[in-house]
């Protein structure tokens, strides 16, 4: 029988073996043809390992600490975000009432009740042309500012001056009879609605005599 050579072999008297890997990473040593030497397997150990229990606990602890920090930050600023959201909502409803009056060609009114912190938007003042008699008004939408858990309500919080200057009074809805009215040209009466949260932060939503709508936030320097 002819000689069988593999890499590194010089004669057929050496115990030469051909090397290969099987599908699961074992490396069998194949003996020479006709040899009585059994086939030997070597396992090729990968240089990888899973997470230990200690490492897993450390990761869980880090995630827990991070979640706690973000949760505390959310609780700290949630009243501020909620107040800003409600202020912008009321500002948007002022705009909608103005647009509704122009499009419909009739007066629209917003009646704000400081005691309940509810502002009702009316698309008509009824047969008597008077928004103060609520029975015949056509209700378009109600805005309940007290639905928030952060004590959002009508009030001026820590503000020490009124929008436009001067001392701020006890009345937190400064429209005559607490009613804002837009006519069919978009012109309105002047006034302000103040809202606050449990942190005594405050916003002011109001109009001037030309029907321009504004939104202001109170800080240490005044209304901005």
The fourth-level CATH superfamily of domain 53-223 is: minor pseudopilin epsh domain (3.55.40.10)
**Is the model's pLDDT at 30 over the cut of 60?**
no
Looking at the predicted structure, is the pLDDT value of residue 100 above 80? Answer: yes
Q: Report the length, in residues, of the chain.
A: 224
**How many angstroms separate the Cα of 205 from the Cα of each of 25, 44, 112, 134?**
73, 74, 12, 23
The share of the chain scoring above pLDDT 90, in percent, equals 60
Give me the chain's average pLDDT, please.
83
Q: For residues 202 and 80, is the Cβ–Cβ distance under 8 A? A: no
**Contact assessment for residue 203 and residue 213, using Cβ atoms and an 8 Å cutoff:** no
- Once rounded to an integer, what is the mean pLDDT over residues 191-214? 97
Q: pLDDT grade, residue 34 (50/70/90)?
A: low
Distance CA 118, CA 143 (A): 6
d(CA 154, CA 61) in angstroms, rounded, equals: 43
**Listed residue (205, 215, 206, 211) closest to 188, CA to CA:** 211
Q: At 176, is the secondary structure helix, strand, or coil?
A: helix
Instruction: Parse the chain into domains and list their residue ranges.
Output: 1-47, 53-223
Q: In angstroms, how far apart are the furthest CA atoms of the chain? A: 122
Interval 182-194: pLDDT, tens: 999 999 999 999 9
Sheet holding 179-182, edge to edge: 138-144, 118-124, 108-113, 179-182
* pLDDT tens, position by position, 120-157: 999 999 999 999 999 999 999 999 998 778 999 999 99
Tokens at residue 38, please? 């059994």
Question: What's residue 3's pLDDT?
Answer: 43
């Amino acid at each position: 029988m002819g000689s069988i050579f593999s890499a590194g072999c010089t004669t057929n008297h050496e115990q030469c073996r051909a090397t290969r890997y099987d599908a699961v990473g074992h490396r069998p040593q194949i003996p020479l043809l006709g040899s009585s030497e059994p086939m030997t397997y070597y396992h090729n150990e990968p240089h990888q390992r899973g997470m230990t229990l200690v490492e897993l606990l450390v990761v869980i602890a880090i995630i827990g600490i991070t979640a706690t920090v973000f949760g505390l930050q959310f609780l700290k600023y949630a009243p501020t975000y909620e107040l800003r959201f409600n202020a912008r909502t009321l500002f948007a409803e002022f705009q909608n009432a103005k647009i509704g009056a122009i499009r419909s060609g009739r007066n629209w009114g917003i009646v704000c009740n400081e005691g309940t912190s509810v502002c009702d938007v009316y698309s008509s003042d009824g047969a008597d042309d008077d928004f103060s008699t609520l029975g015949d008004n056509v209700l378009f939408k109600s805005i309940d500012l007290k639905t928030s858990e952060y004590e959002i309500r009508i009030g001026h919080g820590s503000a020490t001056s009124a929008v436009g200057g001067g001392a701020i009074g006890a009345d937190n809805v400064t429209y005559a009879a607490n009613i804002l009215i837009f006519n069919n040209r978009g012109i309105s009466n002047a006034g302000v609605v103040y809202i606050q949260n449990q942190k005594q932060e405050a916003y002011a939503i109001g109009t001037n005599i030309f029907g321009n709508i504004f939104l202001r936030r109170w800080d240490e320097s005044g209304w901005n």
